[in-house]
Structure 1
Amino acid sequence: MNLANRITIARILLIPLFILFLAEYPLWLTEQNSFFGFIHDKGTYIALGIFILASATDKLDGYIARKYNQITNLGKLLDPLADKLLISVALIMMVQSGMVATWIAVVIIAREFVITGLRMVASEQGIALAADKWGKIKMVLQVAAIAAVLLDNVPVQSITLMRVDELLMFGAAAITILSGAHYFINNFKLIQLR
């Protein structure tokens, strides 16, 4: 297994660690156990660090795969899967904690299912659908929005009363819809649905 694929797998393995630190635990557990008490106090910030690290590996594994000619079928499968898992898990955890509206998570996750389905149909016909620039912009905005929500509008709150984290999340949802529609319209004609 090459280095690029190892980095992608590391990104997937960071997801359970992200869950551990972002999860909400019962009060009796956080009061009786110092580790869970620590998670209760600092877990969101540690989860944010893990999320940013995992997100950064997305650029790193792609760079290494291209630079050292390490592009493999396994990497083509795992890389988008790792991205979708990371974003989906973050959104689901944040909905559970009341940080993000359910409809935003549904819109973003549903878009990923639709595009993945389109790619699967194309793959069966021997067509490889590459990500476009809108998909990359969408991913960057989603990462920025999730990070801002995890920060709970800090440090922006000291400058303005505007909820920048909420604006970024609405923007991420809007770009997700637009990028999905753009991708679908541009690639639908390449595929023969039977």
Structure 2
Amino acid sequence: MTLPNWITFSRLLGLPFLLYGLYNPTPTARWVCLAIFLVAAGTDWLDGYLARKLNQISDLGKFLDPLVDKLLVLAPLLALIELGQVPAWGVFLILARELAIAGWRVNQTTITGANIWGKLKTVSQIIAIALLIAPLPEVWKIPSLVAFWVCVTFTLISGAIYILPQTNSD
């Protein structure tokens, strides 16, 4: 397994600590959760950069990276549902898109990397989750929810763009 693939896999190690910390109501615990989340999200950029720089792009990496990204996004969102910070139906839309794309990818003969819409989706999800995890003052509640709905919108758009051009060419 290549270094970029190990870095991708390492993102999973922070998830149990992140989820445990989200259930601790102290501001300090939430800041620690934010730091864990941002470090894990930052390694998403790092593994891609190293894979390209070291010429270690692999089918395993193309498969593993989006899978770990999904877990990194969905795990805290599911916890945020339970904490009453986001509506379940919004997270369901994200989950449905991710499952649909994963199922669609299974039938593809080649695995492609993310396009610009997939990258926008990921960045918007990271921003929204970071705002929702951080113990910000009440004035940030609406901007955090707006960021959440922007990420839901980008998630759905990127899913449609991912599938529609491919179905038209068949």
The TM-score with structure 1 as length reference comes to 0.80
Match of 2:67 in 1: 81
Deviation at 1:145, TM superposition (A): 0.5
Deviation at 1:190, TM superposition (A): 4.8
Q: Which protein, 1 or 2, shows the higher relative CO under an 8 Å CA cutoff with sep ≥ 6?
A: 2
How far does the alpha carbon of each residue in 1:49-73 deviate from its partner, in whole angstroms, 9 at most, with x for none? 1111100000000000000011223
Give the alignment partner of residue 115 of structure 2, picking from 132, 136, 145: 132
On the 8 A contact 1:145/1:168 being kept in 2, the answer is yes
Match of 1:163 in 2: 142
On the 8 A contact 1:8/1:79 being kept in 2, the answer is yes
Match of 2:41 in 1: 55
Instruction: Give ranges in structure 1 of 5+ residues lacking alignment.
Output: 25-38
Coordinate RMSD, CA, aligned: 1.8
Percent identical:
37
Distance 1:130 1:150 in 2: 28
Which protein is bigger by CA-based radius of gyration? Answer: 1
On the 8 A contact 2:62/2:111 being kept in 1, the answer is no
Q: What secondary structure, in the 3-state scheme, does the structure 2 residue paired with 1:163 have?
A: helix
On the 8 A contact 1:145/1:165 being kept in 2, the answer is yes
Distance 2:78 2:67 in 1: 16
Once the two structures are superposed, the pairs formed by residues 138-149 of structure 1 within 5 Å of their partners are 138-149=121-132
Deviation at 1:162, TM superposition (A): 7.3
Match of 2:156 in 1: 177
On the 8 A contact 2:62/2:113 being kept in 1, the answer is no
- Runs (4+) of structure 1 exceeding 4 A deviation are none
Deviation at 1:156, TM superposition (A): 8.6
The TM-score with structure 2 as length reference comes to 0.91
